Amino acid sequence: MPEIETSQNQDELFSPPSHVRGMTKLDRTAFKKTVTIPVLKVRKEIVNKLMRSLKRVALQRPGIKRVIEDPGDEASRLIMLDPSKMFTDDSFEELGILKQLNVSPQISKYNLELTYENFKSEEVLRAVLPEGQDVTSGFSRVGHIAHLNLRDHQLPFKHLIGQVMIDKNPGITSAVNKINNIDNTYRNFQMELLSGEENMTTKVRENNYTYEFDFSKVYWNPRLSTEHSRITELLKPGDVLFDVFAGVGPFAIPVAKKNCTVFANDLNPESHKWLLHNCKLNKVDQKVKVFNLDGKDFLQGPVREELMQQLGPLSKERTHSVHIVMNLPAKAIEFLGAFKSLLDGQPCGSERLPIIHCYSFSKNANPAKDVQQQAEAVLDTSLDACSSVHLVRNVAPNKEMLCITFRIPAAILYKNQTLNLEKHEEPPLKRQRTDKSFSKEKSNCLDHVTENVLSPD
């Protein structure tokens, strides 16, 4: 017999039965219980009109119909009410509409049977996991895949957690758990299938573009959607983008759609394959040149060759900007050294120098200053006059992902330059308000942080 629960404490009333605590293999039948809730009896012909006025007090539970037939009266219906807002006749604030429709405000009790389908995912997991432990109900959605990052105390329940995520989230058919850190070479990580189908080839929509890839073999982070848009908006039609660590194309493809010229590279053969596929899928394959090289080789090969043409003496009339995106936060700053003495010949005008967008992590109390100092150490020059830092996202407690943007100094980019770096002036990037996502505690150390960097008009 399902247990009868008459407590008015909401945490108890709509919690699964206590005997599911410690369950490691999901048994949906064990979640049955019966609770007593208030109901209002009304004539069936006025139900629709009345329900619009009873939204505040009507019961809202997954899979529960708020209006049911009255077993004892075919001409009437029972409206289920939320016991936390309505347990006595005096609880009605809607007496006016009840009187207008000639409905008695008298409420009755009704025994409602709850099943697994009527509990939310966090309610199921809170009831199953050890009392007082953190409950996982959030995940990153990548197409049909729920990507979790479980903590140690949750691992004994991992398969149950995965199945609950699938059950409670329409469209999710696979649940996986990250079991190691991102591999710095190919930017993917090992994952374990918790529940559902093994198919890791998925399709996602981001900012009106479609991407297909094997999630187990490439890097994809749905939390970077806003950052992809931010960089895309900085470029204008005719600009040039070099994407050093392009992945499956979330920077390259939107930028190419703006009628920009794009050179996109990734060392991972799987990323390279899906990048080509996604360029065709989004109909920009004629605008994107795709490479499968190490980042340094890409910079010192195709990028160098193209920059020599883009910035050479025969291109002085060109007004477009050149942007270089380096989204490999764990190591990208190390690759800045490839820009030192990269080009031969006479330096171009400072306003035509490439703009670098380089990503990095920081655990420093002053993350913006830390990232700038890291970049300066590699380039062996000050970036005070020509850089800004943007907070991308908080990755973990005391760990930030940031993007430093700067126009690379000619004295760094060109060989045999004797310019005095102390006197060399770069056009300052326009300062704007600091990013709202920085807390007030950090604001004192982030005065030079900007939310945006404009093209050099």
In degrees rounded to 5, what are phi and psi of residue 394? -85, 120
Nearest to 143 by CA among 223, 204, 209, 206: 204
Distance, in Å, from the CA atom of 253 to the CA atom of 451, rounded to the nearest integer, reads 23
pLDDT band at 141 (very low <50, low <70, confident <90, very high): very high
pLDDT at 137: 64
* DSSP per-residue string spanning 66-125: SEEEETTEEEEEEEEB-TTT-SSGGG-S-HHHHHHTT----EEEEEEEE-GGGS-HHHHH
**Over the stretch 177-230, which tens digit does the pLDDT of each residue have?**
988 765 546 666 788 999 999 999 999 999 999 999 999 999 999 999 999 999
Distance, in Å, from the CA atom of 439 to the CA atom of 451, rounded to the nearest integer, reads 14
* Residue 144 in this model has a pLDDT that exceeds 90: yes
CB-CB contact of 246 with 328 (8 Å): no
pLDDT at 104: 79
- C-alpha torsion sign, points 360, 363, 366, 369: negative
pLDDT band at 416 (very low <50, low <70, confident <90, very high): confident
Return the axis-axis angle of helices 121-128 and 158-168, rounded to nearest 10°. 160
**Over the stretch 49-85, which tens digit does the pLDDT of each residue have?**
888 888 888 899 999 999 999 988 998 999 999 888 7
In degrees rounded to 5, what are phi and psi of residue 62? -55, 130
Mean pLDDT (the chain) is 86
**Over the stretch 270-325, which tens digit does the pLDDT of each residue have?**
999 999 999 999 999 999 999 999 999 999 999 999 999 989 876 666 779 999 99
Nearest to 390 by CA among 354, 326, 434: 434
Nearest to 232 by CA among 206, 251, 259: 251
Question: Mean pLDDT across the stretch 31-40?
Answer: 93
pLDDT at 350: 87
Q: How many residues does the chain have?
A: 457
Burial of residue 264 (number of CB atoms within 10 Å: 0-12, 13-18, 19+): buried
